[in-house]
Amino acid sequence: MQNRLIVSSSPHLRSDEAINVIMRDVVIALLPATMAGIYFFGMGAVKVILSAVIAAVATEAAVQKLRNQPISINDWSAVVTGLLLAFNIPATAPWWMPAVGSVFAIAIVKHAFGGLGHNFMNPALAARAMLLASWPVQMTNFIKPGPDAVSTATPLALIGGMEGAGQNLPSLFNLLIGNVGGCIGETSAILLILGGVYLIYRGVITPRIPVIYIATVAVLTFLLGGFNFYFMSYQVLAGGLMLGAIYMATDYSSSPVTPRGQVIFALGCGFFTSIIRLYGGYPEGVSYSILFMNVAAPLIDKYSRPRVFGEVK
């Protein structure tokens, strides 16, 4: 009778990883792209990043204080939300705009639904959508990197012919390193990929969602874009695809938990991103695609869950 079988509720498999370690790894992964954004866009990027992060952390502490909860700003989750929101805002935005977005992301999208782990959509993306609907002019006022700081269209708008008549398309190399107009974190594809590799190495995310998401966009834009490899490469490297696929679609709270569900989720994100980009009136479709699939994630989980061991019909 020395060896007893102890019956307990799930979970039965536990990990020693803490929330602050995971979130700190995300911040580390975003540091190269953060430095690139500051290098290309200067003090405007610093202003937006600091405003978003400080407002996110302050709102987290204030809401938890009002709800008589333990203040957990040292878990880095608010820092990640603020940084991701700043990545989705142009460097020309006034300082108060990322602050308003961070308050909305933390107070409304995150804590109004129960706090960390209970938000049904990505807080940073929801805040970006709110800012874009409320202040579309400021949210689409992009500048060209460099000392001239002149207004420019994003590469996706240029290749789609929606605006920027007379402007030359940036090279694929400039898209890789981030020397193009756009939001602060949507520029340097190679540094975002580098951060993603670090997160996969650390076990924070799996490559399933990012790879399938990006591959779906590549295949659809190649087929629907007239079998044009250059056009496909532009669609993959430009805009917020790398940022969204690696750092936002993989959010634990708002993405499916089953492997099959994650495949469906990533395919849906890639499909809607491609359709919005190619046939919609807006050159970018990453944010709305991920938000749409966030809402569908519980339903995806419901119909993609594996059978219980020993279950019979």
**What secondary structure does DSSP assign to 43-64, as a single string?**
HHHHHHHHHHHHHHHHHHHHHH
Q: What is the pLDDT of residue 224?
A: 92
113 CB-side CA count, 13 A: 16
The answer as to whether 4 is a domain residue is no
CB 180 within 8 A of CB 166: no
CA distance 165 to 110: 41
Structure tokens given for 157: 């708008």
CA distance 203 to 197: 10
Q: Over its length of 313 residues, how does the chain's per-residue pLDDT go in tens digits?
A: 566 666 665 555 555 568 889 999 999 999 999 999 999 998 999 999 999 999 999 999 999 999 888 888 888 999 999 999 999 999 999 999 999 999 999 999 999 888 888 888 999 999 999 999 999 989 988 877 765 555 666 777 777 655 544 467 778 888 888 888 888 987 788 999 999 999 999 999 999 999 999 999 999 999 998 898 988 998 998 888 999 999 999 998 899 999 999 999 999 999 999 999 999 877 788 999 999 999 999 999 988 887 776 666 6
Query: Which of 124, 134, 125, 123 minimizes the C-alpha distance to 93?
Result: 134
Query: Which of 78, 112, 122 minimizes the C-alpha distance to 255?
Result: 122
The answer as to whether 64 is a domain residue is yes
Q: What is the pLDDT of residue 7?
A: 67
Structure tokens given for 313: 């019909």
CA distance 98 to 187: 18
Q: How far is CA 35 from CA 47, 111, 225, 245, in A?
A: 13, 30, 34, 20
CB 34 within 8 A of CB 83: yes
The parent domain of residue 243 ranges over: 19-304
- Whichever domain contains 160, its CATH number is 1.10.3430
Structure tokens given for 41: 């866009």
pTM over 0.95: no
The answer as to whether 226 is a domain residue is yes
The answer as to whether 9 is a domain residue is no
Query: Which of 60, 72, 56 minimizes the C-alpha distance to 111?
Result: 60
The answer as to whether 8 is a domain residue is no
The answer as to whether 12 is a domain residue is no
The answer as to whether 13 is a domain residue is no
User: How many domains does one find in the chain?
Assistant: 1
Instruction: Output the DSSP codes for the chain.
Output: --SPPPP-PSP-S-----HHHHHHHHHHHHHHHHHHHHHHHTHHHHHHHHHHHHHHHHHHHHHHHHTT----GGGSHHHHHHHHHHHTS-TTS-THHHHHHHHIIIIIIIGGGTSTTT-SS-HHHHHHHHHHHH-HHHHT--B-SSSS--B---HHHHHTTSS-TTPPPPPHHHHHHT-SSS-TTSS-HHHHHHHHHHHHHHTSS-SHHHHHHHHHHHHHHHHHTTS-HHHHHHHHHSTTHHHIIIIITT-TTTS-SSHHHHHHHHHHHHHHHHHHHHHSSSS--HHHHHHHHHHHHHHHHHHHPPPPTT---
The answer as to whether 1 is a domain residue is no
Q: What is the pLDDT of residue 165?
A: 45
Q: What is the pLDDT of residue 269?
A: 96
